[in-house]
Structure 1
Amino acid sequence: MAAAAPGPAPGLAPARRGRLRVADRVYARIAARAAREVLAGAWPAGRVKGAPPRVTVAVPGSTVTVRVELELPFPADVAGLARAVREAIAARVAGLTGTRVSDVVIVVEKLVTGGTS
């Protein structure tokens, strides 16, 4: 029989219990992985030719802003891929960290031949 998980400290208001700070590199790794997972399906037979996503984050207050530089396959639906990456990053970061994502900026650095037609 498992012991019950400890709950919040009794009698303390939420603001007095403490606060969790997530490091910027954690946000960046979550965002990069979400982007890689979305882009894996855009390359034929899973052979990714482009460079891995380059992610930078800014945490102004209680929100996070993510900037992702990508190399996308050509030919492909560039706008559709960018939208899918943006949505995946926002959902994954918010879901795993509980932090609201205020903006996800997608920068297409290069189009690499060999994408799906």
Structure 2
Amino acid sequence: MTALSGVKDRIAAGERGETRIADRVVAKIAAQAAKEAIDEPPEQGGAPRATVTVHRGAARVRVSLELGYPCDIGRQCGGVRRRVAERVKALAGMEVPEVAVQVERLHPTGASAAAQGRIQ
């Protein structure tokens, strides 16, 4: 038994290595969580996109999305922030001190879309 193998025997298995989750993986989790949080995604809208910066176990997230209009934009964005923070913490084990939500586009829905078609 060498001196090195004796040290390994005394170190707990969970402390011998480290698990690293790539930023792009956390971004995919965040984008999926944002998609789940939107009440009624617009038919013509694109899927939410996310970018993430991870530093010392904390993820700062920026989500870009499209919403149907009319809607309560503030409530929708608040729901996206909460859902993204919860899912990233649950699935990646990271704290999320910041979730910035950017609404890229509003898509008319229902009666608003019909009215848009009549205006020339």
TM-score (norm 2): 0.77
1:95 aligned partner, one-letter code: A
Using CA pairs below 8 Å that are at least 6 residues apart, which structure has the higher relative contact order? 1
Report how far residue 61 of structure 1 moved.
Answer: 2.1
1:84 equivalenced with 2:79 (yes/no): yes
Structure 2: 5+ residue runs without aligned partners? 1-7, 113-120
Alignment of 1:37-116 (within 5 A): 37-39=36-38, 41-43=39-41, 48-114=43-109
Q: How many residue pairs end up in the alignment?
A: 105
How far has the Cα of 1:14 moved from its partner?
A: 7.2
Q: What 5-or-longer segments of structure 1 have no aligned partner? A: 1-8
Structure 1 residue 95 displacement after superposition: 0.4
Please provide the CA RMSD for this pair.
2.4
Greater helix proportion: 2
Q: Does the aligned pair in 2 maintain the 1:66–1:104 contact within 8 Å?
A: yes
Residue 30 (1) aligns with residue 29 (2): yes
Asked whether the 8 Å contact 1:75–1:116 carries over to 2, the reply is no
Partner of 1:19: 18
